[in-house]
A and B are shown apart, each in its own frame.
Chain A
């Protein structure tokens, strides 16, 4: 258990629908990063929040939005879903991972299937 919690683990929904993915970082971690991993693909950076504020945006579609709440959990909202949005969605915290280095600690991901 990495300490980064993502819910739900699996989600199946129809095209055109809207879903919300939730992420709780490890206790004390202020940052949340969202990544999308399509089948057999790499990790695409979507968006970053730090202590409630958006810090960086990647290739996030306009149909997608996110926010980080005062308790530091974050939600990724995906709307008008298309088949191509089917993917694994990871959130991560930037934490001390090894000998003082800062790296990502990932949650176990949410597998979204759009049918």
Chain B
């Protein structure tokens, strides 16, 4: 099915190390959202990016939207065990339906 590519698929880091996941689309996006899914849980909304080159921060998380609005990244500084989970980007498909196509996800494991 239709999906947005994310890399890497898996990432294991030591606690305290940084982590970055990248989301790439072949088309120009109107907006992009990021979600986090804890193991055994459901996806939870983190952020939405709309403007070209936009950068948003949430504590240790930094989200960036590419200048061409075709890619995005999520960077976590000094990971903690609470960061464990799968991070998904979601590409907005509008208008009218507002459905989002989710990326393949990056599963993060943090080793204490």
The total of interchain contacts (Cβ-Cβ below 8 angstroms) comes to 63
Q: Is A113 interfacial (CB-CB < 8 Å)?
A: no
Q: How far is the CA of A26 from the CA of B39 in the complex (A)?
A: 24
Query: Given the complex of chains A and B, what is the CA–CA distance between A13 and B41 in angstroms?
Result: 22
A24-43 interface with B by 8 A CB criterion: 31, 33, 35, 40-43
Contact, CB under 8 Å: A59 / B1? yes
Distance between Cα atoms of A54 and B60 in the complex (Å): 40
Partner of B42, one of A2, A31, A56: A2
Q: A33 and B42: CB pair below 8 A?
A: no
Let me know if A102 is at the binding interface, CB within 8 A.
Answer: yes
CA separation between A94 and B97, bound complex, in Å?
Answer: 10
Complex Cα distance, B42 from A105, in Å, reads 9
User: CA separation between A97 and B2, bound complex, in Å?
Assistant: 25
Query: Is A44 at the interface (CB under 8 A from chain B)?
Result: yes
Contact A43 B97 (CB under 8 A): no
B residues less than 8 Å from A48 (CB atoms)? 97, 99
Mask of B87-101 contacts with A, CB within 8 angstroms, 1/0: 010100000111111
| Cα separation A56 to B3 with both chains bound (whole Å) | 16
Decide: A106 and B97 in contact? CB cutoff 8 A.
Answer: no
Is the C-beta of B102 less than 8 angstroms from some C-beta in chain A? Answer: yes
Cβ of B103 under 8 Å from chain A: yes
Known: A103-B48, A104-B35, A104-B43. Is A59-B98 also a contact (CB below 8 A)? no
Sampled A-B contacts (21; CB under 8 Å): A2-B42, A33-B99, A40-B107, A42-B3, A42-B88, A42-B103, A42-B105, A43-B88, A45-B1, A45-B2, A45-B99, A45-B100, A55-B96, A90-B42, A90-B43, A101-B33, A102-B98, A103-B33, A103-B48, A107-B42, A108-B42
| Residues of A participating in the B interface, judged by any CB pair closer than 8 Å | 2, 31, 33, 35, 40-45, 48, 55-56, 58-59, 90, 94, 97-98, 101-109
